[in-house]
Chains A and B, each alone.
Chain A
Amino acid sequence: MGWRSVIISQHAKLSYASHLMVVQTRDGINQVPIEDVQLLLVSTTQAVITTALLSELAKQNAKVVFVDRNMQPNCELVNNYPNNRSVDLLIDQFNWSQKRKELLWTKIVHEKIKNQIQVLQIYKHETEELSGELEKLEVNDLTNREAVVARKYFPLLFEQEKFSRRSGSAVNAALNYGYSILLSMFDREIVERGYLTYLGIHHRNNENQFNLGSDLMEPFRPVVDYWVANQDFTELTPDVKYGLIDALNIEITYCEHHMLLRNAISKYVGDCLKYLSGQSKELELKMELNHEVPNNALINHV
């Protein structure tokens, strides 16, 4: 139900009163209806938050993300027992057929590479080499084209031959920030549908609680890249962060429908889970970026 991202950027107290999230700051009191909140980012370490509010937000399946002292997102609130999780659903998740997992992973990688190519094309870079790699994609990406493409893609997009995702540059910091916000949105959708985020289809890192989210988000990463590549900054300033969160409202085309990124994520996660659990036989994933000003931005939001 939620459709709003709320960012807390200053010293504040967050509490709950009559179905509203009450935010007291130095400037005064603000109230936001709980059911409107989809993502609450507490982007400061100087906020207090009441347990009543946390539990109400969890009840509404809102995602709450906290940051560390460097203002990078570092933890999030995960619903323990969403009311639609049943034993049957979990058994079903543990028994997802290997074949379906592999086919879905292939589609995901295919879609990711396609989107990467699209981002490069929007910024008028050469993409022939990457298209060649895309054609070599095998079932379950046995030859790891995903990594091969990524290694070529980032230096191309950011026009630096030595670009490395591991360096501590501002661009990397921004990408990491955007990805973690994106991941939290996927976790939200997965938990809302009653599934566990631990069990992925390709990622199986023991220390990653969000393997499934990390799997499913792959095709959407290029949206963050697309946004970051369009900006010119040398430092990860608050404005860049707010822009990254606002990027959830970019309009994209998903399965031939124009929709906001946050709504597309919801639909996409639903489609993937339905496919994995055998409720749908076919799966069509097709997303495209629209490089234009969305309609809702012109008529004053919503």
Chain B
Amino acid sequence: MRLLIMFDLPVETSKQRKAYRHFRKDLINQGFTMIQYSVYVRVCVNRKSAEFIEKKVSNFLPEAGVIQSLMLTEKQYNDMHFLLGKEKEDVRNYSGRTVIL
């Protein structure tokens, strides 16, 4: 299961930029990894835990902007086509239960 978070945040005033930095940092603290600018993804064991993390994210939202979330199954996520560029090679973007480093 994947939880995708996409956002567009205003960065005009320094207060807004601060809110943006905090939000991004909090996402990383929750185990999200950046797959593109403003698109973050996290592997979750099942739908329940994805819903749980979504709830946690909704607890640290900035005041203004647009933030969308999307839950995808592993199958749907893996069916994504790369029209240009390559997949991020990061453990956080890998859903196997055994990781060898």
Contacts and interface: CB of A to CB of B under 8 A. Distances in A.
Contacts of B73: 299
Contacts, number: 77
B99 interface: yes
Interface in B80-95: 90-92, 95
A245 B99 CA distance: 10
Interface in B1-50: 1, 25, 28-31, 33, 42-46
Interface residues of A, number: 31
A301 B100 contact: no
A18 B101 contact: no
Contacts of A35: 31
Nearest to A298: B75
Contacts of B33: 31
A6 B78 CA distance: 22
A7 B101 contact: yes
Given A19-B31, A32-B92, A302 B45 contact: yes
A139 B29 CA distance: 52
A36 B75 CA distance: 20
Contacts of B91: 30-32
B51 interface: no
A278 interface: no
Interface in A6-46: 6-10, 12, 18-20, 23, 25, 30-33, 35-36
Nearest to B100: A7
B29 A4 contact: no
B101 A302 contact: no
Given A3-B45, A18-B28, A36-B31, A302 B99 contact: no
A141 B91 CA distance: 47
A249 B98 contact: yes
Contact of B101 (A8, A19, A36, A300): A8
B97 interface: yes
A295 to B, nearest CB: 11
Contacts of A4: 97-99
18 contacts: A3-B45, A4-B97, A6-B99, A7-B98, A12-B101, A19-B29, A25-B101, A31-B92, A33-B92, A36-B43, A242-B98, A299-B73, A300-B75, A300-B95, A301-B74, A301-B95, A302-B1, A302-B96
Given A30-B101, A36-B43, A248-B98, 9 more contacts: A3-B45, A4-B99, A18-B29, A31-B92, A32-B99, A242-B100, A246-B98, A299-B74, A302-B46
Interface of B: 1, 25, 28-31, 33, 42-46, 73-75, 78, 90-92, 95-101
* The 8 nearest A-B residue pairs measured at CB: A33-B31, A301-B95, A302-B95, A246-B98, A19-B29, A301-B96, A5-B98, A30-B91
